[in-house]
Amino acid sequence: MNNTNHDILVAKGCHGARKLKGTIVVKGSKNDALQALAASLLFGSPLTLTNVPAIEDIARLGNLLTALGVAITEDKKLGKKSLTLDTSQLHSATLDDDIAKKLRASIILTGPLLARRGEAHFPHPGGCVIGERPIDLFLDGFAKLGASITIRNGRYHLTAPRDGLRGAEIFFRNQTVTGTECFMLTAVLTKGQTVLKNCALEPEIESLGKFLVREGARIRGLGTTTITIDGGPLLKSLRPSYEIIPDRIEAGSFLILGALLMRELTITRCEPGHLDAVIAFLRSAGATIKIEPRQIIIRATPRQSYRALPLTTHEYPGFPTDLQALMAVFLTQATGESRIFETIFEGRLGYLETLARMGAEVHIHNQHQATVGGPTLLTGREVTSPDLRAGLAYLIAGLVAKAETIIHNVHCIDRGYEKIDERLAMLGFNIKRHHSP
């Protein structure tokens, strides 16, 4: 994938107009694809993943696996990318520092590596700066499974007992998507029974878990907060293939885009049932939404006025924290004052200061709470993306605004949205990408 660290996006605002009509296709889920790449370490035979999004995070995790000895071949048919991963030549359990330090999702590889090779070595994982994301829960969980842990020169060194990891009961103090995924995968190759309690309920976890069960894994309780795994040997199948589910965060992003900027938008190849909280919120605010099998249609009129509403993020199936910034842009165009309560991450409201520079009426009360007033006329500015979701929020705000918005640090957006500038341009928006040397 091309290095986009120095790219900029220039978006010409629509000044609040809602005249466009079109259709946009949802790509495969970033979070599902990341955990599925890690799941390849559970197989003694090649694993094929289909509907894989062509985004930076996937490329980075793929590079980590390649450096470990995993052979990855790519195929692209009918616009859908597939990857086949062969772990038969896996020769290392050490994650590359340069990549892992920039990719939070790299932590998901550590458990399967530890279970399969008896060791894992890695730096503190990086990623978006949206509050502290300590890895204590991972280290505590690995210790319960019997691993020895040492920290030297900023690197973590995990070693399993000579006879392998042993099943245990692990209770998550807070529901954690990555933690649930990591320990579910680890437990598949761990001796004995592992019980995970207070698990996250995201559909990506249930979907991949059901696939692993079909391939021979012994997992019970998928879709509930308690998951029980009876460990065993490497999974083997003649031709295991897993289709990445549609990205519900991308679909939700397009719903908000449609409400703000389009006369009618059809969002296809999505799972409407994964977006109940977002759909309910937009409907309560006054949006017109029609749900059909595998697609959603949202309609707005040029003079439509939305109602202000309180927004509280919550673990799935509640309102997703990853759409909080985008919904804040929506609330700048709603009539009245809206309260935002971010319950998942501290420090995720910093992007509101940039929206205020664009003309938004906002007040940050503390690390978790803010108010947004509206409707307000936004004006384009030169901004820098602090993280993946705020970066897209700036882009949408720039399209809502008058004049031009210039967005730096575009690689943050590219981490989770495939060719977003090209796809939105196909809907009729004036967006240009400029490559800097």
Q: What is the pLDDT of residue 130?
A: 42
Q: Which residues are catalytic?
A: 128
Any idea of the CA torsion for 160, 165, 170, 176, to the nearest 10 degrees? 70
Beta bridge partner(s), residue 152: 155
Please say whether the structural domain 30-243 has been given the CATH code 3.65.10.10: yes
- What are the residue ranges of CATH 3.65.10.10 in the chain? 8-27+246-434, 30-243
Structure tokens at 322: 């990853």
Q: Among residues 36, 170, 201, 194, which one has the least CA distance to residue 115?
A: 194
204-209 contacts at long range (C-beta below 8 A, 24 or more positions apart):
204/29, 204/31, 204/32, 204/35, 204/177, 204/245, 205/35, 205/177, 205/180, 205/181, 207/32, 207/245, 208/32, 208/35, 208/36, 208/39, 208/181, 208/242, 209/184
Closest C-alpha to 255, from 289, 305, 285: 289
The whole-number pLDDT of residue 420 equals: 97
Ranges of residues in the chain with a pLDDT under 50 are 1-3, 128-132
User: How many whole angstroms separate alpha carbon 270 and alpha carbon 291?
Assistant: 11
Report the alpha-carbon distance of residue 251 to residue 244 in Å, rounded: 14
Q: Tell me the DSSP string of 79-98.
A: TEEEEEEE-TT----B--HH
Phi, psi of 434 (to 5 degrees): -115, 125
d(CA 212, CA 206): 10
* Three-state SS at 240: coil
- Helices 136-144 and 110-117, axial angle in degrees (round to 10): 20
Report helix, strand or coil for 192: coil
pLDDT at 26: 98
Tell me the whole-structure pTM to 2 decimals. 0.95
Task: Tell me which architecture the domain covering 8-27+246-434 has in CATH.
Answer: Alpha-beta prism (3.65)
**Six-digit token pair at 395?**
């882009």
